[in-house]
Structure 1
């Protein structure tokens, strides 16, 4: 028979006994309610009794924050040429590789560069023939050394101009076969911002077309209110929780705290650096950062599941012996993620129930 069924059977007997008592006696208010449930040793063990000790109070401060990409690992792409976007090969949030083609631009600048390259290439052929002829004349004593040097200089100048144009074509990622400039990813990472689409007109060296960031490490920007400034310091470890992953806790540290309060909201901005190799945290995600501070105070420290909240008050179930589970009101000093520090109502050495406390509480409430 399960623990719950055993308690339930005993509870029925208690209810019958209580009913007969209540018919002959007036109900009296009692600050502490004691039941007469006698539990077996096995049942007591299943209640997971906890002997109270006084622990150092660790205060937990909760800071609201937003995930942001690390600006040191971000590249915003600005086009060096103007034109019309003819094709795009990515969407916001895509994971892209370095040199991957993301878009194509049709531009009159490409036509101009190709025409200039064609003209200079033709001029170079003429200059080569001119140099060859001048070299022959120089060897025969007809041309002067100055004329030979001038012919060589003309050829080298044209070769330089051609290489410069070809460098520009490589820089602009020109595809002469397709007649477009290709926009390639400057680094590997995730596209975290995008402002372009097919058919869009863009200018040379204008606003960024897209932004790529490495999300292996992210920043969390948190607000530190004026009343909490003394409790938060740089390099403090923090735990990060988000409703998107309720069962996960991420860990990091406070990397930097601003020295200037933002006047409109009266907060300091703090920055938390967080490892994100599993890519759970995305820019823009709202999170809660938990900062823990040890105090000089000691108090009873108990699991949250051992505390019952009822009628705007907190209670625990104390085990004096196997036949005397007792409901005792307690005052809360502070609350952690999964535990409470008790200001009053429990003393060191007291034994309380940490499993099925609510069931025992309800049974003693019926007697009351």
Structure 2
């Protein structure tokens, strides 16, 4: 006898429990059957085509069946896209576009024999050559002491006026400053007296006056003139004194420049009492500089007086100056245990400043075996690196980066390619131009 659900739930007997269990089993069976029917659809993403009426009905009764194909395939597509993006390919499988990248990485240019002949391209194997040995040492810019003068009073004097300042270009005889000195006033007065007495004796006649008086007048004048010269007056300044009769400004005198040059020091104050030997001005030839380089005593045999030198400093845009060795020190520095080498450099642009540090390349008297090419065969690449062109086959040329060690007037000494390799020695610019036109960048990384 069938009972309603309410009756079955309320039945306290064993039969009620059995009926409830039967009901649960029935529900579970129905759910399992639905999953079994729906499994092929989710697994293969198939639609209702080809299904029987019962399968179609089961699929239609299953919730979300119409979207199941999309949901089933979406994770697989995302996984595949991620693998492609990450480059996670199976062994032997190449990523998309890899062939294009490999082809682009094969840098170089092919030139036929006719092209090379018309463009003047010459290829030769690298061979070591003998060049003078080179020493690279630090150096310091200094004033050329042979062309530098210190201007100082020769007696104790006080500065009254400054006529020239530091950085000013002056000529020999220009007034630099006006000084005053008691000693100069006395010397000026004695000279005027002696000059007047000698003029009187000469006008009367040396034969008329006594010989003693004539000698005394002559000697007194000479002594007075010598004293003024010792105090720093020039002959022209001394010659102007007697015509004044009496001095309006006794003791005043001018300090003059004794050479053409640039004022690099004007270390004094107006009103300052300056002792003899104290530098007031320093004049130098601004176009000539000395470089003081330091070498090991054992390297002294490699350099010669008169040898050519290259000087380079970063503060002048890596400009290279040419100089010559003037002297090689005869005494080792006790502190650094090095030997000094004095170099003269002509600097018409006046870029080298005293106290500035530079890099010095000394051409030694010895020789060394190096690899070198003409400067026209070594070119700058787009990234600024030095590059030469190597012949890898009969018609194929590739750019190869090198490291420049040093340069001479015509050659570039370098490293990075072994001896025996064939490289372009003439026509490198044409090869580089053809490579640029082919669509490849001249860059060898």
TM-score of the aligned structures, taking structure 1 as reference length = 0.63
Deviation by residue 1:142-174 (Cα, 9 ceiling, x = unmatched): xxxxxx85xx63565356435643554565347
CA distance in 1, matches of 2:301, 2:195: 71
Is 1:71 matched up with 2:145? yes
2:59: which partner in 1? Answer: none
- Alpha-carbon shift at residue 270 of structure 1 (Å): 0.3
CA distance in 1, matches of 2:260, 2:308: 30
2:414: which partner in 1? Answer: 341
Q: Could you tell me whether the CA contact under 8 Å between 2:378 and 2:387 is conserved in 1? A: no
Deviation by residue 1:187-224 (Cα, 9 ceiling, x = unmatched): 33333433323221112x33233333345543321111
Name the CA shift for 1:317/1:77 in 2 (closer, same or farther; >3 Å): closer
CA distance in 2, matches of 1:166, 1:36: 85
Name the CA shift for 1:297/1:309 in 2 (closer, same or farther; >3 Å): farther
Match of 1:236 among 296, 300, 307: 307
Deviation by residue 1:64-102 (Cα, 9 ceiling, x = unmatched): 222333333333233122221011111223332222211
- Alpha-carbon shift at residue 269 of structure 1 (Å): 0.6
2:154: which partner in 1? Answer: 80
- Alpha-carbon shift at residue 365 of structure 1 (Å): 8.2
CA distance in 1, matches of 2:141, 2:147: 14
CA distance in 1, matches of 2:195, 2:107: 104
Name the CA shift for 1:194/1:238 in 2 (closer, same or farther; >3 Å): same
CA distance in 1, matches of 2:277, 2:221: 27
Q: Could you tell me whether the CA contact under 8 Å between 2:388 and 2:424 is conserved in 1? A: no
1:157: which partner in 2? Answer: 216
1:288: which partner in 2? Answer: 359
TM-score of the aligned structures, taking structure 2 as reference length = 0.54
* Ranges in structure 1 where 5+ consecutive residues have no aligned partner: 1-20, 136-147
Deviation by residue 1:304-362 (Cα, 9 ceiling, x = unmatched): 8558799xx998653445874446687x6x71148343465452434489454997997
1:18: which partner in 2? Answer: none
Match of 1:102 among 176, 179, 191: 176
Is 1:185 matched up with 2:257? yes
Larger radius of gyration: 2
2:124: which partner in 1? Answer: 51
1:3: which partner in 2? Answer: none
- Describe how 1:139-158 pairs up with structure 2 within 5 A: 149=210, 153-154=212-213, 157=216
Q: Could you tell me whether the CA contact under 8 Å between 2:379 and 2:386 is conserved in 1? A: no
Is 1:61 matched up with 2:120? no
Structure ranking higher on relative contact order (CA contacts 8 Å, 6+ apart): 1
- Alpha-carbon shift at residue 257 of structure 1 (Å): 1.5
CA distance in 2, matches of 1:156, 1:317: 90
CA distance in 2, matches of 1:189, 1:233: 30
Mean Cα displacement is larger for which, 233-242 or 345-354?
345-354
Name the CA shift for 1:298/1:243 in 2 (closer, same or farther; >3 Å): closer
Deviation by residue 1:112-161 (Cα, 9 ceiling, x = unmatched): 34555677789x69x98xx99xx8xxxxxxxxxxxx85xx6356535643
CA distance in 1, matches of 2:219, 2:392: 96
Q: Could you tell me whether the CA contact under 8 Å between 1:120 and 1:162 is conserved in 2? A: yes
1:213: which partner in 2? Answer: 284
CA distance in 2, matches of 1:117, 1:232: 56
Give the root-mean-square deviation of aligned CA atoms.
4.9
1:139: which partner in 2? Answer: none
Name the CA shift for 1:56/1:77 in 2 (closer, same or farther; >3 Å): same
* Ranges in structure 2 where 5+ consecutive residues have no aligned partner: 1-92, 242-246
- Alpha-carbon shift at residue 268 of structure 1 (Å): 1.3
Is 1:264 matched up with 2:335? yes
- Alpha-carbon shift at residue 183 of structure 1 (Å): 0.9
| SS across alignment from 1:64 | strand
CA distance in 1, matches of 2:301, 2:440: 43
CA distance in 1, matches of 2:442, 2:281: 65
| SS across alignment from 2:160 | strand
Aligned length: 318
Is 1:92 matched up with 2:142? no
Q: Could you tell me whether the CA contact under 8 Å between 1:195 and 1:210 is conserved in 2? A: yes
Q: Could you tell me whether the CA contact under 8 Å between 1:329 and 1:345 is conserved in 2? A: no
